[in-house]
């Protein structure tokens, strides 16, 4: 089993590259069924509580983005997950009472 801990950019995007593998090496021959994404930590200490929005705690499934390109003798495929989110420790009331 392989894992990566990529850091998101200022817009919340990250890239986790994996080694070349045969599709048959993955669960049911599908990398999207074998992999998932989880929230780990936020750089903003005021907004660093995990949420399970889109399965950010349980493990968000991957979806195929329909983007492919060839390079270095193999085909590359882009998968995505989320969006995932953190929340502040306390939240202000949403309305006046």
67-90 pLDDT, tens digit each:
998 988 888 888 899 899 999 988
Query: Which pLDDT score, from 0 to 100, does residue 97 have?
Result: 61
CA–CA separation, 78 and 64 (whole Å): 6
- Is the entire prediction scored with pTM above 0.75? no
User: Alpha helices, DSSP H only, in 1-97?
Assistant: 31-34
Close Cβ partners of 28 (under 8 Å, ≥ 6 residues apart): 34
- Tokens (6 digits) for 13: 């995007």
Helix (H, G, I), strand (E, B) or coil at 45: coil
């Amino acid at each position: 089993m392989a894992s990566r801990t990529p850091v998101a950019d200022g817009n919340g995007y990250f890239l986790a590259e994996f080694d070349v593998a045969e599709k048959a090496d993955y669960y049911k021959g599908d990398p999207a069924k074998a992999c998932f994404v989880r929230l780990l930590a936020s750089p903003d200490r005021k907004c660093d509580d995990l949420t399970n929005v889109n399965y950010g705690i349980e493990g968000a499934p991957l979806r195929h983005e329909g983007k492919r390109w060839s390079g270095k003798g193999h085909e590359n495929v882009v998968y995505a997950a989320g969006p995932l989110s953190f929340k502040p420790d306390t939240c202000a009331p949403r309305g006046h009472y």
